[in-house]
Chain A
Amino acid sequence: MGQDSLVSVGVTGGGSGAGIASLINNKTDVANSSRMITDEEIQMAKERGVDPYTIVFAQDVLAIIVNEHNGVDALTLEQLGKIYSGEIKNWNEVGGADQEILLYGRQSSSGTYIYFRENIVKNEYDRSMIGMSGTAQIVQAIRSDQAGIGYVSAGYLDENVKNGLKVMHVSKDEASEAYSPLDKENVISGNYPITRPLFQYTNGKPDGKLLEFILYQFSPEGESIIESNGFYPIDAKAITDKLTSDE
């Protein structure tokens, strides 16, 4: 499938739950969601004769940003969690200057706020964290705040935005190397640890035009669309193999 194929695709928004609800009611061919479908939802779908099939088609990557004058270059996931839960309070505890750490995060209505807390912090956020309305506000604040640290979607950090910022290298643990999310290869290979999969759900294994559409997303053209929207492509081989196999 290429751009000239005569398939028109209608897209509706509405948040992570909306697509899944439409799929359950058999009102859509593909449901996009940034979260896993729950057991209850699968149950409800099956009662209506819908058999949800899960495809990971892209990933969202969170970058950890600090001010460009910050002396720290790399953090482990554990350090990051402790910084945001308030156990580590000073930059000198992670190899930086003697300066209190200032936490910037999103507001509790944000999916990113919840994702970061459940997967990285695994605890309550420290109550001193400043809650910002959006990614742009966090970037703006970190640019002028030498003590600050923030998390933003890595796709947002293009050349202009990166001015005045330093993007942290992050490692899974003490023993492993720290990687930057700005190098696409680090993300696709799975070396950069703060990513979340983005899902597509279909009714049963896709075939025909639907399969073509989904495979198109994994083509170079499809991947460049994913990237231009601020997300990262995934290592698609295993998935496309499974999609095109007969079982």
Chain B
Amino acid sequence: MRGILTLLGYFTIVILVGILYLLLSNTLKAFVNIPFSSFFNFHWNPSAHGEASYGILQLLWSSVLVTVVAMVIAIPLGIGVAVFLSEVAPEKLRSIIKPIVEILAGVPSVTIGFIGIVLIGPFIAETFGLSNGFNALNGAVLLAFMSLPTIVSVSEDALRSVPKSFREASYALGANKWLTILKVILPAAGSGIIAACILGFGRAIGETMTVLMVTGNATAMPDSLFDPVRTLTATIAIELGEVPFDTPHYYALFVLGLLLFIISLLINFLSEWVASKFRYKI
């Protein structure tokens, strides 16, 4: 039994190394066919009418823009919900709200995208006087919803793991509940909350279907949140299905894949590091 479990544990490592190998070997072929410098411009158009171009900066910027705005929405909301659940809500209410937030994590991304098209898009268009709702803001709002469960769950765990003695000490010193939350509990759970936010960021930047459906996928550089954007993930999803095998375009898509892989790897390392480094230092 122990042997089997150990084997399963190693199996995940094998899969990860396999993915990395696949990405790296195909990326190398891209660099053989396409000069390295051509990736560093703002124009992605590999199946062009004229000369193909492979600039990834607009795609990278789109991904970052949508994700950062999603975090601006999701982090205050998520931490608020987590504090409410762990410190304020009566146990009964908590036992209702927590599962609902977790169900949100299980809603298929294509369903969220659909909501974006029929609900959020028209709402944004009407509110801001735009002719349509295919823009970065729409994607960001949906990604905020999608990363909310991650942020809430992990933050709440961090808040609940703050020892009871911290609260008691604070009350003994005459602090009221709000002061205790603000000055004692949140700082004590800070590393866990930051880790939660980083994980939420990772969840959002890797999301594909939702952003593909609602952000318009134009390759022009966005001037504002009300312009369409085209993320790294959407580009791979759109193009990999029909790209001719063994062409520069095919390998260029693996460069985007490797970039996403590196981003999520860094995010995971960062959240691990933050969570372990700053534990209980007030």
Contact = CB atoms under 8 A, between A and B. Distances in A.
Q: Do A and B come from one complex?
A: yes
Interface in A129-143: 129-131, 133, 137, 140-141
B100 interface: no
B242 interface: yes
Contact of B242 (A102, A109, A141): A109
Contact of B241 (A109, A121, A123, A124): A109
B19 to A, nearest CB: 23
A63 B140 CA distance: 33
Contacts of B216: 130-131
Given A130-B216, A131-B218, A107 B49 contact: no
Contact of A123 (B49, B218, B228): B49
A108 B49 contact: no
Nearest to A123: B49
B43 A117 contact: no
Interface of B is mostly: loop
A145 interface: yes
Interface residues of A, number: 28
Contact of B47 (A114, A126, A127): A114
Interface residues of B, number: 27
Contacts of B255: none
Given A109-B242, A148-B132, A121 B47 contact: no
Interface in A83-136: 102, 107-110, 114, 117-118, 121-131, 133
Contacts of B134: 130, 141
A146 interface: yes
Contact of B217 (A118, A131, A146): A131
A144 B132 contact: yes
Contacts of B50: 123-124
A156 to B, nearest CB: 18
B48 interface: yes
Given A102-B132, A109-B242, A141-B134, A130 B217 contact: yes
Nearest to A118: B49
A147 interface: yes
B49 A124 contact: yes
Nearest to B219: A127
Given A125-B49, A147-B132, 13 more contacts: A102-B132, A108-B239, A123-B50, A127-B43, A128-B218, A128-B220, A131-B217, A131-B230, A131-B238, A140-B117, A141-B132, A141-B134, A145-B132
